[in-house]
Structure 1
Amino acid sequence: MKGKKILALLIALLVAVSMTACGSSGGTSEKKEGTSKESAASFDDMVKKAKGTTVTFYGWGGDDLLNSWLDDYFAPRMQKKYGIKMKRVPMNIEDILSQLSGEKQSGKKKSDIDMIWINGENFKTARENGFLYGPFLDKLPNYGKYYNAKDRENNYDFSYPIKGYEAPYGKAQVVFEVDRAKVKSVPTDTKAFAEFVKKNPGKVTYPAPPDFTGSVFVRNVIYDICGYKQFQNMKADKETVRKAVEPAMKYLKSLNPYLWNKGKTFPESSQKADKMFADGETIFRVTYDAYDISKYIENGTFPKTADSFQFKKGTIGNTNYMAIAKNSGNVAGAMVAINEMMSPEVQLNRYEKLHTVPVTDNSKLSKAQKDAFAKVDLGKGTIPQAQLLSKRLPEMPSALVPIIEEIWEEEVAGK
């Protein structure tokens, strides 16, 4: 959490210096950002302009299967179809934001970054500091053809207005997992989960926030105990939030004596927690990737008896997005690549190969396209897509997330 605060402060200071040095040219008005040559050009013109260029795609590189898919499927497709070379640059989003901030402060005219994998509070930070190009979403043909412009997740990212500054990339939704050979019945709410933890002392844990997965587990517990509607328009005031989440924090604190290492420490990352589950050290796993269990069963990482479940009231889901750096040297190429990533063909291939929940609107697909998506075998241990999405809960506003993480550190972890 301290690292996030330092990064946010650094970004604010650098942007302030940049705006002082550059005067009005450093402004972030949407009118100025939306009147570039790329915005005014037709999509066909962008395709022609992008031919023979390279597009850099910056984002978290910790998913080996996704990395392989981008390198072995999407990059060759872009080269063959458009003559565009895709260069994947693995980098944590905090470092991406820091780089964008440094480039802006130095007055660099062309960023090394074109496309960015982003969402949540990181999008809010990037947007408010003028790091992103746009609006561009409504200029992408595939968005108009295959997406519902009224869908909340195409308009709000963690309740923060998108306003065309990012395009949907993939959907995520929380599921819980156990080994059915060791667990006969799964908890369907937080009350039952407490009993589950007590019956299996030392065998349950979750990653420590601000790890992305650990943080959403805490928010899901809050929703189950406190409801979710009150948070959607809640003021980002720490004491207001503290009062609202108090019952959930007391609940989480009460679990500590029965958790792995008696709740004195928590796994520092979801990768560490996943390994503990795979090794049998723990019997419970939480993940944002609703269908990754099947690939882990298939490659032998998880036992064949691993299975997914949700709470009765539902689990949190969100969309992750693609954005473009404000000073990208290849806006046209980035827009062509993003448009292609949003195509039904590419989304279907991701669904088949990576089991990523597609972002296309099923009602806008042809019968043949619908049938192709319906035929995808999601593999063992997964929840059917219709059932999964029927229990999809909205994310909290991004401004509340770091506040909740701070409160968890103070009241649950006791740091």
Structure 2
Amino acid sequence: MCVKPRSFYTWIFLVVFGLSGLVACTPPSKNETPLNLSEITWPQIEERARGQTVYWNAWGGDQRINAYIRWVGAEVKEKYDLTLVHVKLNDTSEAVARILAEKAAGRTDDGTVDLIWINGENFSDLKANNMLFGPVSGVLPNYQWVDQEQPAFIEDFTIAVDGLQVPWGLSILVWLYDSQSVTKPPQSPDELLLWASENPGRFTYPAPPDFVGTSFLKQLLIAFTEQDSLLTLPVSETSKHLADPVFEFLDQLKPLLWREGRTLPTNSLALKQLLADGEVDFSLSFNPADGISGVLSGQLAESVKTYTMKTGALSNGHFVAIPQNASAKEGAMVIANFLLSPAAQAKKADIEVWGDMSALDIDNLEPEAQALFEKLQQEKRLILPNQFERSLAEPHPSWTKYLERVWLERYAQ
């Protein structure tokens, strides 16, 4: 399989040795007085934010998401005189490595990352290194509308959020399939293996460490261990055996894959294109609206349907966070607050825009805000979490790294 392993620490090495000669990508904040959240009001934060440039580091692989971020930029420019720059990432670990390298170089207050789209192991790494500003969530006026009883917003991959990142949306791992060729989609890993043996070459998955590819491995891990409580703890010598059935399964699956597993799609977008081209019968996505939007755009055939396995679906929250050394903390907070506004959340939830599930408790919104979501629901342009089988919580972040490392050792060429 043609996979280039990416090392988080390789990024740190490259960045820290180049940092001394690096021209700052962001200008320092115009406010020289340190931001103390306990001694400032929200109107004062908005005033200090005016005129700032906010460098938002976020994955840039989906044109719909990029277009949404451009819309956010136009809105915050008009409303708050903020300039939003989308720093497009191939992998969030690039920005995390840069932040940690800046810390190592003593760059404590004029960092190049003001806002970062984040969750999981990347959040865990920054939190462990005390490189997240806050707690910030409770300071944001629009945080009152967030579904604060949602487990995925309380713990992120079993790590307490503690207000250090701001909920932005919910994701769930869904399966897309062509109902013309698949009349009875598999409902468990065992059924998937049986289907693949009867239909060789018609299934594949993105190569880890792609986020969706690794999530496929984690869903297998949870299914094979029946959500063993050890998955909520760091991987250890006494628990790593829990992953053995995953790789035994993959060993059996490999010769049955598209192109006999000699190569895998690089990400979920490439896998979706294989489905569109009729090369395979399944695709995987962390956006439950992906199949519907693909049909509406004409990329996917009308016979493509979306489902989750009866064994459950891996789900998580995704967030934005502000690094401890951000140059434009006030501007980043204003943007994070705007992202939680009912108008911004409803637009994001629109299947024709992005289709990302909202972070808000819609039932507790004011009537005018509820109407935004009700209109989408009436027009069948809204997906809600309760439309799917039971959700499966993410394991401890160390399992992500362990599964990726073992997968790369066994299968990457």
- TM-score interval for Structure 1 and Structure 2 normalised by the shorter chain: 0.7 to 0.9
CA apart distance, 1:382: 9.3
Which residues in structure 2 correspond to 1:210-229 (within 5 Å)? 210-229=209-228
Cα gap change, 1:39/1:99 in structure 2, threshold over 3 Å: closer, same or farther?
farther
Name the counterpart of 2:132: 132
Name the counterpart of 1:167: 166
Cα gap change, 1:9/1:88 in structure 2, threshold over 3 Å: closer, same or farther?
closer
**TM-score for both structures, normalised by structure 1:** 0.86
Query: Structure 1, residues 282-313: CA drift from partner, whole Å, max 9, x if none?
Result: 11111111111122112211111111111112
Name the counterpart of 2:204: 205
Which stretch of the first structure deviates more once superposed, 261-270 or 163-172?
261-270
Q: Among 4, 8, 13, which residue is 2:7 paired with?
A: 4
Name the counterpart of 2:29: none
CA distance in 1, matches of 2:172, 2:367: 26
Name the counterpart of 1:59: 58
**TM-score for both structures, normalised by structure 2:** 0.87
Matched, 1:305 2:303: yes
Name the counterpart of 2:99: 100
Which stretch of the first structure deviates more once superposed, 393-402 or 48-57?
48-57
CA apart distance, 1:60: 1.1
Name the counterpart of 2:28: none
Do the aligned partners of 1:38 and 1:46 also contact (CA within 8 Å) in 2?
no
Query: Structure 1, residues 167-213: CA drift from partner, whole Å, max 9, x if none?
Result: 01121110011111221121111222112111211111111211111
Which stretch of the first structure deviates more once superposed, 114-123 or 274-283?
274-283
Which stretch of the first structure deviates more once superposed, 254-263 or 352-361?
254-263
Which residues in structure 2 correspond to 1:377-396 (within 5 Å)? 377=377, 385-388=385-388, 390-396=389-395
Do the aligned partners of 1:226 and 1:248 also contact (CA within 8 Å) in 2?
no
CA apart distance, 1:325: 1.8
Stretches of structure 1 that go unaligned for 5 or more consecutive residues are 19-34
Matched, 1:181 2:175: no
CA apart distance, 1:14: 5.8
Give the letter aligned to residue 265 of structure 1: T
Which stretch of the first structure deviates more once superposed, 324-333 or 101-110?
101-110
Which residues in structure 2 correspond to 1:235-254 (within 5 Å)? 235-237=234-236, 239-254=237-252
CA apart distance, 1:414: 7.4
Q: What is the SS of the residue equivalent to 1:236?
A: coil
Q: Among 272, 278, 294, which residue is 1:280 paired with?
A: 278
CA apart distance, 1:36: 4.0
Do the aligned partners of 1:309 and 1:383 also contact (CA within 8 Å) in 2?
no
Cα gap change, 1:260/1:240 in structure 2, threshold over 3 Å: closer, same or farther?
farther
Give the letter aligned to residue 263 of structure 2: T
Do the aligned partners of 1:114 and 1:328 also contact (CA within 8 Å) in 2?
yes
Q: Could you say what the CA RMSD is over the residues aligned between the two structures, in angstroms?
A: 2.7
Query: Structure 1, residues 236-260: CA drift from partner, whole Å, max 9, x if none?
Result: 21x4343112223222221122111
Stretches of structure 2 that go unaligned for 5 or more consecutive residues are 21-33
Which stretch of the first structure deviates more once superposed, 99-108 or 310-319?
99-108
CA apart distance, 1:217: 0.7
CA distance in 2, matches of 1:333, 1:357: 25
Which residues in structure 2 correspond to 1:287-298 (within 5 Å)? 287-298=285-296
Residue-pair matches, total: 392
Matched, 1:363 2:363: yes
Name the counterpart of 1:31: none
